[in-house]
Amino acid sequence: MTLHNSMHREQQSKALLEQAKGYAYEYADSVAQRNVFPSKQAVADLEQFVEDLPTTSGDATAILQQLHQYGSPATTAQTGGRYFGFVNGGILPVTLATKWLSDFWDQNTALYVMSPIASKLEEVCEGWLRQLFGLPDNTVAGFVSGTSSAILCGLAAARYRLLQNQGWDFNQQGHNGAPALRIIAGRHIHGAVTKAVALLGFGTDNIEWVEGDDQGRILPEQLPQLDGSCIILLQAGNVNSGSFDPFEEICDGAKRAGAWVHIDGAFGLWAGGTRRLKHLTKGMEKAHSWSVDGHKTLNTPYDSGILLCHDKEALVSALQANGAYLTSCYGENRDGMLYTPEMSRRARAVELWAALKYLGAEGVDQLVYGMHERALQFGDELRAAGFAILNDVVFNQVIVSPADTDTETDRIMAAIQDSGECWVGGSVWQGKKVIRISVCSWVTSPKDVSRSVQAFIRARETVTEQ
Ligand SMILES: *Cc1c(COP(=O)(O)O)cnc(C)c1O
């Protein structure tokens, strides 16, 4: 049989998809029971994938079988409820199901004419996000791979606008000889923001750093004198403590000076979409651009990031760099590529739409507040067991200091990870090694938290008994 015929047969019989479905269900049914991090055997078995590029075509059934046999066990059990590493999200069932369906569509969302449905869902999500976050009416959204990309877009729009204000067209005239822009950022800004500063050519040495308080929040009185050349980088959700910068005061000052404010809220911006945690983001609507992930707190599948910007012209101009967009930009139908650096993209708005339609505003509150409650529970139970909690648990992040020395902290963390009971990562907080817990999945239950706390206690016993 020719290769082409095989593919036709695979497509028509659907046996391959049934096989995948069977494996997927098997995975889903076992993920909560198994070790959160792959076993040593599972990691060693990854050598099964190391081979020379095949010279001839293979067997689809066998390929899928190999992936499940050796791939599935070497995943981290992120959907199981006891993964608290970095700031990674879970996945809402409705988003997984809608993604599955849209995978069959295989749409390219660059232009309306490539996918009317993707264009419509982007438009709907843009409006819903504006409403949920209480952002200005003229706010537009770009659907990108993650917050890292979204920050890049926000800063590019800021650069375009601030230089345009000074009569300089950045797209045409570029960096050489351009009026200097100033980058002002809090000490605790995320590495993705620093990366965007570097990628866009501002130079990290030129950042004017602003000190923070004991929770990592910018101290507004430490801000330098602002003017119309300033881009101020704030954050909603410190990646360690979960704290929020004081937006209102800083945005008001920036507005008076003609400066641009970008808020990086990869996971924390969602607090601004809730009823019970909205107070954390007071004044955020006064910024100019915002970056946020769908794949973290909102629990949509990877990958999904959103850039929100209330200066459509600056954003579209910065990302398109040619005048041809103008006809379509203000046309009847939305062309998604105008708001993103990429042209071809997958239809991320499908899962965002599904998540927001499923949850509704009240469900977003329950989802996000639930993560906050689990984080509070972690803090309380760990404290009761004698662990030091170094942050105010205002959101979903908990910083734990399990020991007096960095060496012992490392050993306790390794023992927790080895237990397979839960997975937590390390960080540095105020010069000290710490364990960082991020509650980011809807699946995590109070039982999961208590069980994980037991793993902390046992790990400390093992290490101190040695
Ligand atoms: C995760 C994170 C980022 C980077 O987001 P990606 O979606 O991984 O690109 C940026 N800022 C903060 C605060 C984050 O937590």
Digit-coded pLDDT (tens) for 87-136? 999 999 999 999 999 999 999 999 999 999 999 999 999 999 999 999 99
Digit-coded pLDDT (tens) for 231-290? 999 999 999 999 999 999 999 999 999 999 999 999 999 999 999 999 999 999 999 999
* Residue 155 pLDDT class (50, 70, 90 cuts): very high
Calculate how far, in angstroms, residue 9's C-alpha sits from the geometric centre of ligand 1: 42
Q: Atom 1 (ligand 1): residue with closest C-alpha? A: 266
Above 80 in pLDDT, residue 464?
yes
Q: What is the 3-state secondary structure (H, E, C) of the chain?
A: CCHHHHHHHHHHHCHHHHHHHHHHHHHHHHCCCCCCCCCHHHHHHHHHHCCCCCCCCCCHHHHHHHHHHHHHHHCCCCCCCCECCCCCCCCCHHHHHHHHHHHHHCCCCCCHHHCHHHHHHHHHHHHHHHHHHCCCCCCEEEEECCHHHHHHHHHHHHHHHHHHHCCCCHHHHCCCCCCCCEEEEECCCCHHHHHHHHHCCCCHHHEEEECECCCCCECHHHCCCCCCCEEEEEEECCCCCCCECCHHHHHHHHHHHCCEEEEECCCHHHHHHCCCCHHHHCCHHHCCEEEEECCCCCCCCCCCEEEEECCHHHHHHHHHCCCCHHHHHCCCCCCHHHHCCCCCCCCCHHHHHHHHHHHHHHHHHHHHHHHHHHHHHHHHHHHHCCCEECCCCCCCEEEEECCCCHHHHHHHHHHHHHHCCCECEEEEECCEEEEEEECCCCCCCHHHHHHHHHHHHHHHHHHHHC
Q: Which atom of ligand 1 lies at the shortest distance from residue 303's CA?
A: 7
Mean pLDDT over 40-46 rounds to 97
Task: Characterize the bridge pairing of strands 388-389 and 182-186.
Answer: unpaired
pLDDT score for 328? 58
Among 148, 153, 302, 352, the mutation site with the greatest number of ligand 1 atoms within 8 A of its Cβ is 148
pLDDT score for 292? 98
Digit-coded pLDDT (tens) for 348-394? 999 999 999 999 999 999 999 999 999 999 999 999 999 999 999 99
Judge if the beta carbon of residue 351 lies within 6 A of ligand 1.
no
Mean pLDDT over 214-240 rounds to 98
* Residue 321 pLDDT class (50, 70, 90 cuts): confident
* Residue 465 pLDDT class (50, 70, 90 cuts): confident
Q: What percent of the chain has pLDDT over 70?
A: 98
Among 143, 264, 300, 352, the mutation site with the greatest number of ligand 1 atoms within 8 A of its Cβ is 264
pLDDT score for 297? 98
Q: Atom 5 (ligand 1): residue with closest C-alpha? A: 147
Calculate how far, in angstroms, residue 204's C-alpha sits from the geometric centre of ligand 1: 18
Above 70 in pLDDT, residue 53?
yes
Q: Which atom of ligand 1 lies at the shortest distance from residue 265's CA?
A: 13
Contact 135, 285 (CB under 8 A): yes
Q: What percent of the chain has pLDDT over 90?
A: 96
pLDDT score for 327? 57
Q: Atom 14 (ligand 1): residue with closest C-alpha? A: 266
Digit-coded pLDDT (tens) for 414-446? 999 999 999 999 999 999 999 999 999 999 999
* Residue 343 pLDDT class (50, 70, 90 cuts): very high
* Residue 323 pLDDT class (50, 70, 90 cuts): low
Judge if the beta carbon of residue 294 lies within 6 A of ligand 1.
no
pTM of the model: 0.97
Q: CA of 120: how far to CAs of 96, 109, 112, 123, 406, in Å?
A: 20, 10, 8, 5, 52
In order of start, what are the domains of the chain with their CATH numbers?
Answer: 98-356 (3.40.640.10)
pLDDT score for 254? 98
Judge if the beta carbon of residue 146 lies within 6 A of ligand 1.
yes
Q: Atom 2 (ligand 1): residue with closest C-alpha? A: 266
Q: Which atom of ligand 1 lies at the shortest distance from residue 146's CA?
A: 7
pLDDT score for 466? 74
- Of 418, 419, 384, 380, nearest to 398 by C-alpha is 380
Judge if the beta carbon of residue 239 lies within 6 A of ligand 1.
yes
Mean pLDDT over 43-69 rounds to 97
**Average pLDDT along the chain:** 96
* Residue 325 pLDDT class (50, 70, 90 cuts): low
Calculate how far, in angstroms, residue 266's C-alpha sits from the geometric centre of ligand 1: 5
